[in-house]
Structure formats: structure tokens, C-alpha cells
Chains A and B, each alone.
Chain A
Amino acid sequence: MKKLVLGLYAIATVALMIWGFYQAMYVAPDDALQGYIFRIIYYHVPSASVAFVFFAVSLFGSIGYLTFRRGNHDRAQIADAWALAGAEVGVVFCTVVLLTGPIWGRRAWGIWWTWDARLTTTLVLWLIYVSYLLLRRFAAGPQMQTLAAVLGVFGALDVPIVYMSNRWWRTQHPAPVFGGDPGSGMKDPAMLAAFGWNMLAWFAWGIFVLILRYNVERKHQQYAEQEAEEALAANL
């Protein structure tokens, strides 16, 4: 039953992504100022949104693990699986953001990179979660989950500080398209529609991969526990 639902969801996601691609590349018009390169927005912004949401999922997973690790073992393991899945898939989407951004920037602004608030915060976020994944790889044993959860909390604390500190420094990234100045926002309904479809498609894809990763991690955890029990039983 679960496999059937997941299979149908996968088909729906792929259909959404094909539709989103069609909308982004063929239906939506060129930007008045930037021309064709503007279409990167349909990949850059949804990826950024997905990355931020999944990093939040990871943070809640870390907090959940720290809360439940003494009281409720099962819940703690579930929380830890969400923390890892959120971090991994978030890093992938954040990588997409950091790759598409400079490509767009080179065309639109003439520079690959600059140290403004958004770019720096995104880069630091990426660095923090990569270091989180490295800690999970290098630290051994049962304490690894606790250490990783604590690092997750530290990382989340750091991000707003990075954003604020850099904002005071300088800013190059364009002002927010949605909710920025009074003149901002997408005016053309075809553009807005393409943007909406791509947001939906990339979120659907992201959630699909996240659920798969979560399930794989749960299986890992269960096998590890089974092995531990068998080893104990063999020794008795």
C-alpha cells in the first residue's frame, strides 16, 4: 500500500516537473531587463526555498533527538532520521542554489560572486551543514547522534547572526522580488504561473527525495539495532 502511494506520488512529481519545465522555458516571457537568463529564477528560488525548509526540518529533528533521547528511544531515533535526511537533501538543494546563483550573477551583474548578506549567509549555511554531515561520518558510535544534534542547534543559532552581520556590511543581491519595494513582485501572470508551478514541482521532488532518504535511514537504524541485539544474544 505504502509503495503504491509512493509510486503514484513519484509519477505525479515527475509530471509536475515536466509541466514546470515547459512553463519555465516556453510559456513564460523573457524578462524586460535581463532577457533569457532570467529563467534561472525558476530553479534558483525554489531550490533556495526547499533548502531552507529542509534545514529547518533538520533543526527540529536535532531538537527532537535531544529532547527524547533519554525518555523515548523510538521517537528519538525518528527525530534523528529526520535530522539527517533534512540535512543531506538540504545540502544538495543548497549546492544547486550556490551553482545557479553565480551563473545567473555573471550574466546579470557581471560578477560571479560578492560578499553580500544573502550570498554569505547561504554559503555559511552550506558550510555548516556540510560540516554537520562530516561530523556524522567521522564521529563513531552512539554518541555521534547526540554530538550531531548539538552541532545542528549551534549551526541554526549561527545563521541569523551571519545574516545580520553581513547586512550591516554591504548588500549586492537584488532586493527581494516578492515583498520588497513597492514596485517589486512579478507583474506578468504568465511569469507568476510559471514560478508557482516550478515552486510546487521542486517542493514535490524535494519532499519525495526526503521521504526516501528518511526511510533508508530508518532501515539503517533498525538493522543496526538488530545486529546489536543478535550480538548480545550470541554472547549470553
Chain B
Amino acid sequence: MTSALWTHLIKDLRIEWRSKDAINSMLFFALLVVVLFSMSFDPQGAFARDIAGGVLCVATMFASVSALNQAWAREIRHQVLDAQRMAPTSGAELFLAKVIANFLFVAIVQVVLAPVFLVMYNLNVQGQAWKLALVLPLGTWALVANGTFFAAMAIRSRNRELLLPLILFPIFLPALLAMVVATKDILTGESDPSLWIKLLLGYDIIFTTVSLLLFDVIFHAE
């Protein structure tokens, strides 16, 4: 890890540790979504296992959008972003540091939320539970990597809070599908999720690479 990447990462983690803004708002929002869905559909047994993946994914999506906007808005204050652009390091390092930091925050939210989820939906995993530890991080990485990139794009527009989900969700759809179907397969134990795990892995690799390559283009766009 280069020192610039490490510096950015430590900075973001330290800011978050002191204020805990992003994690608190994400946690509460995700919890609300889970509760709302649980009340609206009252999932039982097999039905709960069918929809749990979808609910978790949607809850994560809505929760992370708020955190992603905050992450870049913080940089715009006091012209920090301009200082970053003038630094001799490549913008891609700042981007990767933000992605890793946001990924950690979302992962913490998911870990905290998991017991609540298990309780509200009365879940017991029929398939191979360890595979969830593959699916969820891969899916979350897809969301956070693309989300951080598009948040950087949206930050200078006048409707930035609205624009981010509008441009993120269509492009995120295949990863959403893979995550939901894979989680459903694991929870119900009905079929093998390997195909979807491979799709998620491919999606992550492709979009992380393209984001790293194109980040400097949008970072210095003027």
C-alpha cells in the first residue's frame, strides 16, 4: 500500500471514528428499512428465506447512498478537494482509500444488522452459510466502489443527493441481481450460487479497474 493511499485511508477512518456520522445514520436507516419491510410483508418461513436477500440488499443500497454523499461533501468544505487535486499523487489513490473506508463502514453496519435480521425474519440457513461471507462482501464492494465513483461525479451538481441514486442504481442492477439470487440460493439451499458468485467477482474486477482508470478524468474535470 502506498503511503498516499494509507494516509487517505487513516484520515477517513479517523474522521469517522471521531464523529461516527456515517455509521450512525447508515445503521439507523438500514434498520428502518428492514423493519418496514418486515411489517409490510410479514415474512414467514420459506417466504422469509426467499425475500431476505432482496431486503438486505435494498436496505444496504439506501443506507450507503447517504454515507457516500457525506464522504465527498466533507471534502468540498474548506476547499479540501482543490488541495487534493493539486497534490502530486494520483487521484486513484484517494478514490481507493475512500472505497475501502466506505466499504468498512457498510460492512460494520451489515455485521451489526445481521442479528436483527435473523431475528425479524426468523431465518435459519438451509444451504452453506459460509458462502454468505463471500456473497455479501463482494456485493457490498460492487455497491461501494461504483457508489464512491458516481458520488464524486455527482458532487458538483446542484441535486447531488438525488443524482447519486439515479445514476448508481441502473448500473448496479446486475450486481444486485447476483447478490439477491445468490443469497436466496444459500438461504433456501435450493441451488448452487457459484455462478452468481463468479458474476459478482467479475463485475467487481471490471468496474473497480475502470473506476481506477477513469477517476482522474472526473476528478480533474474542469
Contact = CB atoms under 8 A, between A and B. Distances in A.
Interface of A: 66, 120, 124, 127-128, 130-132, 134-135, 138-143, 146-147, 150-151, 153-155, 157-158, 161-162, 164-166, 168-169
Contacts of A165: 174, 177-178, 199
Contacts of B166: 131, 134
Contacts of A124: 170, 173-174
Contacts of B167: 131-132, 134-135, 151
A156 to B, nearest CB: 10
B39 interface: no
Given A124-B170, A157-B207, 6 more contacts: A128-B170, A135-B154, A139-B153, A146-B217, A151-B167, A168-B199
A120 B176 CA distance: 13
8 contacts: A124-B170, A127-B170, A134-B166, A139-B157, A143-B218, A154-B210, A155-B170, A161-B174
Contacts of B156: 139-141, 143
Contacts, number: 90
B153 A151 contact: yes
Contact of B203 (A150, A153, A161): A161
Interface string B138-163: 00000000000010011011110011
A161 B177 CA distance: 11
Contacts of B221: 142-143, 146-147
B76 interface: no
B214 interface: yes
Contacts of B202: 161
A190 B124 CA distance: 60
Contact of A158 (B159, B174, B199, B217): B174
* 4 shortest interchain CB distances as A-B pairs: A127-B170, A143-B221, A146-B221, A139-B157
How many B residues touch the partner, as a band?
A: 20 to 34
Contacts of A120: 173
Contacts of A154: 171, 207, 210, 214
Contacts of B162: 138
A142 B222 contact: yes
A173 to B, nearest CB: 17
B217 A169 contact: no
Contacts of A164: 199
Contacts of B206: 157, 161
B1 interface: no
B116 to A, nearest CB: 29
A164 to B, nearest CB: 8
A172 B150 CA distance: 33
B181 interface: yes
Given A142-B222, A166-B177, A150 B153 contact: yes
Nearest to A163: B174
Contacts of A153: 210, 214
Interface in B201-222: 202-203, 206-207, 210, 214, 217-218, 221-222
A100 to B, nearest CB: 21
B133 interface: no
B83 interface: no
B198 to A, nearest CB: 10
Interface in B112-130: none
A143 to B, nearest CB: 4
